[in-house]
Structure 1
C-alpha cells in the first residue's frame, strides 16, 4: 500500500546529532511530503503537528529517579556468558560485545549461551532482556542488505520483555541507532488500518465479513473514488480481505460511512497513539491527528497523512492484538544489582485492557490472512506455495509508502506476532529502502520469527539466569523434577521483630527469596526449511 503522510515540520526535529543527522531528518521530511500524486492542502496540513509539541506531564508526587536509570548505554553492554549453577567465576570479560580483544583475537563468548550486561562505574550491574542471537541477527540482516535505515523490535509476550532492539543506519553512520528505534520518524502507512479495523468492530460499524464495492484506489485515493458509483464499483471485498491485501478504499469507505472523528480518535488513543509509553529509554509519542473533514478522515483511516509510528510502538501495537487486547509497557532491563549486591530490580510494568478481547481476536484473525494469501505471502511461501514455517501461522500487517524526491526511499513496515494461535512474540520491522530495494520488512520479520522459534527453549532457559556481583549464572534445578531451586538474595533483608503471637506459634524460618515465575517448557518445534 502506498500512503501519504508527514509534513515539512518533521525536518525541524533536532534530536539526531551531526550534520549528517540533519540531512537525515530533512530528507525524510521532504520525501514524505512529496509522496503519491496527491499533495496535502494547506488547510489540512495545519492539522499535522509534530509529536514533540505534545505536553510533558510532570507528576507532582513522582518518585526520585533511580541511580542507574539515566546511564543506560547500549554501546557499553558486554556479552556475558551464562554459567551453570555453582560454576567458578570466569576471568573479566571485555566490554563492547563483538569487538576484537587485545592482540586482535576475538573474545570467546558464545552468544547462544550469553546475555548482555552493563557495568556502571559506581558498582551497579544491569542485566538486559535482549537475546544476543536474535538481536545480532537483526543487525546482520540490515548490514548485509545495505539498508539506508532500519529498525527491528521483538517482544516476549509473557511480559513484553525486549528480545531484539536493533537500529541501523548505513546512509549516515552519525545517526544514533537508538533514535531510529525510539522516535516516530516513519509514517505508519497501512499499519494504521489495524487501528481503523479495531474501531469499526469496536463501534459495531462492521464485521470481518462486511463488504464494500469500489474501483481504483490501489495506490492513491481521490475524493471522487470515495463516492459510490454503481456503474464503476464492480469490485467488492470484505474487511478481512482488505486487511490481508491492504485495500485502501474498503477501509476508507467504511470509515466515511460509519466512523466519526471522536470514535477513530478514541480507538487510536486506546492503542497508545498520542500517548507517552513508559520504557527505560525515552519514547517519542506517535502522532495520530484525525481530521474532522469526513473525506480527509477516510484517507487517514486507510493509512494516508497525519499518522507516524515508532518501531517500539509498532511492536507494542502488535502485542495488544496478540494478548487479546491487553497492554503492558515494554521493558529492557531484567535485573539490577546494587554495589553491595542487593537486588534493585524494579517491578514489572502493570498491564491494562486497551481493547475488548473479542475486538482484538477478530483483528488478529484478519492479520493471519496477510501472510497466508495477502501482501506478505511471498515471504512466507515459496513460488510453489510451500510454507517456510510449516508448523505455525504468523499474524501480521504490512505498510508501505514511497517518496518521489532523490534519494527516493520506500518506508516499509511489517508488524505482527507469532505463532498466531498461541502467541509468544510480537514484533515490528521498519525499513527505509532505496528505489531498488533488496528486501522488504516482512522478509526480515519472517527470518526473525524463524530464529526465535529455533531458540525459544534457550531463550526460556536464559530468562532464569541471575546476575551477581561477579558472574551471571543459572540457579540449581531439582534433579528429579527439573524445577528451579529458589535461593536467598545476595543481601537478605533483616527479619522483623516477632510478635507475641508469632513467637508462640513456633513459625518455620523465613523462606529464601523466590525467583520470578518461569513458564513451563514450550512445545518442541518441528524442523524448519
Structure 2
C-alpha cells in the first residue's frame, strides 16, 4: 500500500511541505493490521475514514501520513521552511478606519479575528527578548477565533509561519493526550501511583514496581509535576498502542484541520514495542506539534470536550456559531481540566504563575521541555486556558533557545493569558483572588519537579548559561 493511494492529496501536501526532505524514521503503513484497526473503533469521534477508492479500513490519524522524523537523529527544525509572503495572511493585513486588521477580498476588505493590540504586544515581547525561534497563539476557545498569532526568529529573521509549523517536539505536552486516554480507561485524577527516579531519563527497570518506590503521586499531581515514570507506568498498565492512537487522532494528530494559513500536520508515531510505547506516553516519543495545534489541544478541555477548528476570518453577521465535534465526554474533559490545574497550582508552572502582581486567576495548563544535544536547542512549551470555570482564552507558547537565553515558554504563555484577558470588556470576568505568594517550603518543592524530557546536554563551560532579561524572571533549565 502506498501513501498516495491511502491518503487524499489535500492531506499529504501540507505534510510534505514539512518533511518531504527530512528523512528520519519511516513508519511502515503496510504492516498495520486493518482488522485490528477496525476492531479498535472505526466509529470513534474524530477518527475519519479514508476516502472511498483507497485501501479499505485505513483510518486517517491512526497511521502517520508521512515518515516521522527522529527527534534525536534528525530534528525537523533543521529543515524548517518559510511560507511565502502571499500565504502569510497576517503580514498582508492592514488596519482599517475602525482599527481592525483586514485583508483584501473579492468583495472588499475582509476583517481578521486578530486583536491588533494583543498581536502587537506579543510580537514586541518576542522581539524584545531576542528569542532564537518563538511563537505564541491565543484563541477564544468557545468559537475557535484566533486572537493573536505572533512569532519571531532572531536566528532566521526571514522565516514566516512559525506558529503553524509542526517542527517542535511536543515533549510533555503529549501527556495531555495520554492523560485523556487514561481517564477514559478508568483512572481517576486522585488514583495514586508510586515510583522512584526518572527525572531526566526513563529505563525499563524504573517501570517495574519496586521497594525503592518511595514517592507516590495522584494522576493530577503526576500531570502537575510532569512525573515521567508515573505516566510511563500507567501507559504500560492501562493503555494499548491502538487506544493511544485513537485518542491522538481525536486530538487531530496525524490529521489536517482547516485553516487559511498553510498548517503542517502534527505527526505522532506511537510504536508497538512495549518500552518505546511507554516512553511515548510519557512524552519521550517522536511527536511534533505546531503552536496553533497546541492552543487547540487546550481548547478541547476548555470546551467540555468539543474540538473546534481555528477561525481567522470574522464570520459574517448572523452566521451560526461553529458546532464543533465532541471528541471527549464532558466528564473526561472536566477531569482533564483538574489534571491541568495541578500544573499551575502545585506543579511545574507554579512559581511563574505566582509571581507577585503577574498572576492569572483560574489558569490551568501544561509545560513541556526537551533539549537537543548537538547543537544545543532548548525547546520549552506552555499550553493552557483561563479562567478554568469560564474559559475566555486558550494559549500555546513555544520557544527554542540557545545555551544563553532570556525567557522560556511558561513565562511567555502566562503573559499571553494575562494580556489576552486584559483585552476583554470590563465585567467579562468574575473577580477572583490571586494566589498568595509561595512559602519557602513550596519553593523548595520546585526542586522535585520532573518535567525534564532529556538530560541537559554537554556544552562549553558545562551547564548552559541563563541570563536575566530586563522584565522577565529567568528560570533554570527544567520545568
TM-score under structure 2 normalisation? 0.71
Instruction: Select the residue among 110, 116, 125 that pairs with 2:101.
Output: 116
The answer to whether residue 237 in structure 2 is matched with residue 253 in structure 1 is no
Cα distance in 1 for residues equivalent to 2:157 and 2:17: 15
CA shift at 1:79, angstroms? 1.7
In 2 relative to 1, CA 436–59 (structure 1 residues): closer, same or farther, beyond 3 Å?
A: farther
Residues 342-384 of structure 1: per-residue CA shift (max 9 Å, x gap): x8x98654411010111111111121111122111121113xx
The answer to whether residue 379 in structure 2 is matched with residue 403 in structure 1 is no
1:126–1:335: 8 Å Cα contact kept in structure 2? no
1:329–1:350: 8 Å Cα contact kept in structure 2? no
2:362–2:388: 8 Å Cα contact kept in structure 1? yes
CA shift at 1:414, angstroms? 0.2
- Residue in 2 that maps onto 1:285: 265
Partner SS, residue 370 of structure 2: strand
- Residue in 1 that maps onto 2:387: 419
Matches for 1:216-295 after TM superposition, within 5 Å = 216-230=197-211, 232-295=212-275
CA shift at 1:266, angstroms? 0.9
- Residue in 1 that maps onto 2:359: 389
The answer to whether residue 91 in structure 2 is matched with residue 75 in structure 1 is yes
In 2 relative to 1, CA 346–126 (structure 1 residues): closer, same or farther, beyond 3 Å?
A: farther
In 2 relative to 1, CA 76–272 (structure 1 residues): closer, same or farther, beyond 3 Å?
A: same
Residues 174-212 of structure 1: per-residue CA shift (max 9 Å, x gap): 222x1x1112100100011111111011021x1111222
- Residue in 1 that maps onto 2:172: 190
- Residue in 1 that maps onto 2:283: 303
In 2 relative to 1, CA 209–278 (structure 1 residues): closer, same or farther, beyond 3 Å?
A: same
The answer to whether residue 185 in structure 2 is matched with residue 203 in structure 1 is yes
2:306–2:328: 8 Å Cα contact kept in structure 1? yes
- Residue in 2 that maps onto 1:359: 332
Partner SS, residue 285 of structure 2: coil
Cα distance in 2 for residues equivalent to 1:48 and 1:289: 11
Cα distance in 1 for residues equivalent to 2:328 and 2:357: 31
Partner SS, residue 100 of structure 2: strand
| Consecutive unaligned residues in structure 2, runs of 5 or more | 1-14, 30-47, 54-85, 436-479
In 2 relative to 1, CA 295–278 (structure 1 residues): closer, same or farther, beyond 3 Å?
A: same
Q: Which of the pair has more CA radius of gyration?
A: 1
Cα distance in 2 for residues equivalent to 1:527 and 1:116: 34
CA shift at 1:233, angstroms? 1.6
- Residue in 1 that maps onto 2:446: none
2:142–2:303: 8 Å Cα contact kept in structure 1? no
- Residue in 2 that maps onto 1:132: 116
Cα distance in 2 for residues equivalent to 1:317 and 1:48: 27
Aligned-residue Cα RMSD (Å) equals 3.0
2:87–2:262: 8 Å Cα contact kept in structure 1? no
TM-score under structure 1 normalisation? 0.65
2:164–2:264: 8 Å Cα contact kept in structure 1? yes
- Residue in 2 that maps onto 1:378: 351
Cα distance in 2 for residues equivalent to 1:246 and 1:527: 26
Cα distance in 2 for residues equivalent to 1:434 and 1:72: 27
2:392–2:421: 8 Å Cα contact kept in structure 1? no
